[in-house]
A and B are shown apart, each in its own frame.
Chain A
Amino acid sequence: MVRKTLMINPADTVVMLLEDGKKGDTVITPNGEITLLEDIEFAHKVTIVDMKKGESVIKYGEEIGYMLQDLKAGGWIHNHVMGCERGKK
């Protein structure tokens, strides 16, 4: 099933789900159709590019954090795979 998403800025590496998504659902992105690799909830983020550990995650056209591990396009971007040092170091 195709799930609705929103890409806030053309530079973003993520899109935001506008409805709950299930593993195997698809989302349409500028990079083509991407299959969700896991269940992802409303308002959460899906990476639309393959990410490598250490790479910057971009939303609102700005860096919101960096990858703690590799993640394939269609994966769920959240604080279990993304870090941010602002306010800490």
Chain B
Amino acid sequence: MMKDTFMGYRRADGSVGIRNYLAIIPSVFCANTTVEKIAAQVPGAVAMPHAVGCAQVGLDLELTARTLTAMACHPNVGGVIVISLGCERFDPQEAVEAAKAIGKPLELFVIQKEGGTGATIEKAVEAARRMKAEIDKIERVPCPVSSLFVGTKCGGTDATSGLAANPAVGNMVDRIVAQGGSAILSECNELLGTEHLLAKRAVSKEVADKIYDAIYGIEDVLRSGLDPSLPAKRNHLISRGNFDGGVSSIVEKALGGVHKSGTSPIVDVIEYSVAPEKDKHGLFLMNYESHDGEVVTGMIGCGCQMVVFTTGRGNPTGHPIAPVIKVTGNPATYNHMSDMFDFDASPIITEGKTVEEMGQKLFDMIIRVAEGELTSAEEFGGTELFCVGRRHGYQKKSREQLWAGHDCC
């Protein structure tokens, strides 16, 4: 029988978390060291250093503002300390107000006001310890499975990903959606050649058109970044590891990758680090490309409490505020580095196990992780997937321009 509740953290605004972190977030990269020194003095606090916040304009600055605010407001975070420099482009007051609106404890310290690094650390550590003591009193309570929101991601794909790991993830996604929960498919550059299949699964013509917009839009971003004056290997659309693993083109990768979305209808296309509309649940496409850290962070910014990450080649990365479950479909990869994985989907290939069996097993693991079971990346303390999405030097095009002249391969 499927479980319909799990033990999670119910937040003041009704949202549900599966972890209960005190996050120390810099509002600009200049505050990274200060943030790390604060977190080091408060056991259990997570530092969230990043590379952005300075000299950004337009959509690039918007992505930073949305993402940093979304991290501060995330249900896996019980309380937040924001460290600002004072002159950065992103105004940390945006995060302060958003946190206030949902009843999230947040304290802001500005290095240029507090009197430098040492004074900021001293004051912030005291506040962080106080806040941590409060957060630690929060207990898990029964929460509906329908409050789960799971991101899906491929990283280090090989040809087994499309056969075993991604279909198992897709089956798990269908189970989450069937229970009223939600999931995200993204990496639109790695969906080239599947847009007609995804559009058929859209709940309406409007959503189908948004799917074409997203995939052709990211394809245009990709194309705009190519530079024929550079050596050919600078312009490959998939990685060396993908080629070594038997994947020969971006479309072949896409046709395998799309399996991780299962068969559920696509209810909407959502933007990077923007939560779906309140009453919408189910499978979403997030309009973004496939840098592992940026796309995972964007999904968490949309509200995902965890991300399921398939990898045929092997990948050790983690995120500071959300569990990342590593799944492989390659038996040799699993046996070679099993401590880096949480789930082995290769029995689909080696033992003839069904996608349904492995999907159910993975669903059961999702519930255990939601209730606190640590993933491999959490055990190792991996946090490198916190990367804020970027978009600079690109002028957005109209639907007519993006759709013109499309025929596959």
A62 contacts which chain B residues (CB < 8 A)?
193-194, 251, 255, 408
Complex-state Cα separation, A62 to B255, whole angstroms: 8
Bound-complex Cα distance A54 to B220 (A): 25
- The answer on a CB contact under 8 Å between A79 and B249 is yes
- The answer on a CB contact under 8 Å between A86 and B409 is yes
List B39-63 residues whose CB lies under 8 Å from chain A: none
Chain A residues, Cβ within 8 Å of B237: 86-88
Q: Which residues of B contact A18 (CB under 8 A)?
A: 349
A88 to B228, CA, bound (A): 10
In the complex, what residues of B have CB within 8 A of residue A84's CB? 248-252, 409
Decide yes or no: A78 and B243 within 8 Å by CB, A42-B332, A43-B160, A64-B255 being known contacts: yes
Tell me which residues across on chain A come within 8 A of B235, comparing CB atoms: 88
Question: Which size class do B's interface residues fall under?
Answer: 20 to 34
Distance of A7 from chain B, by nearest CB (Å): 12
Cβ-closest chain B residue relative to A62: B255
Question: Nearest Cβ distance between residue A59 and chain B, in whole angstroms?
Answer: 6
Contact between chains at B248 and A87 (CB < 8 Å): no
Q: For chain A, which range describes its interface: under 10, 10 to 19, 20 to 34, or 35 or more residues? A: 20 to 34
Judging by beta carbons under 8 Å apart, are A87 and B250 in contact? yes
Contact residues in A for B349 (Cβ distance below 8 Å) = 6, 18
A64 and B158 form a contact (CB under 8 A): no
Interface residues of A in 46-79 (CB under 8 A from B): 56, 59-60, 62-66, 77-79
Contact of A65 (CB < 8 Å), options: B219, B251, B256: B251
Contacts of B293 in A (CB 8 A): none
Cα distance, A42 to B246, chains bound together (Å): 8
Fill in one digit per residue for B208-238: 1 if any A CB lies within 8 Å of its CB, else 0.
Answer: 0000000000010011001000000001010
> Given A59-B255, A64-B409, A82 and B249 touching (CB < 8 A)?
yes
For this complex, 25 residue pairs linking A to B, each with C-beta atoms less than 8 Å apart, are: A42-B246, A43-B158, A43-B245, A44-B246, A45-B248, A56-B409, A62-B194, A62-B255, A63-B193, A63-B409, A64-B248, A64-B252, A64-B409, A65-B249, A78-B243, A79-B243, A82-B249, A84-B249, A84-B250, A86-B219, A86-B249, A86-B251, A86-B408, A87-B219, A87-B250
Query: What 19 new A-B contacts, CB under 8 Å, besides A62-B194, A79-B249, A84-B248?
Result: A6-B349, A16-B159, A42-B246, A43-B159, A43-B330, A63-B251, A64-B249, A64-B251, A65-B251, A65-B252, A66-B409, A78-B248, A83-B249, A84-B249, A84-B250, A86-B219, A87-B189, A87-B222, A88-B235
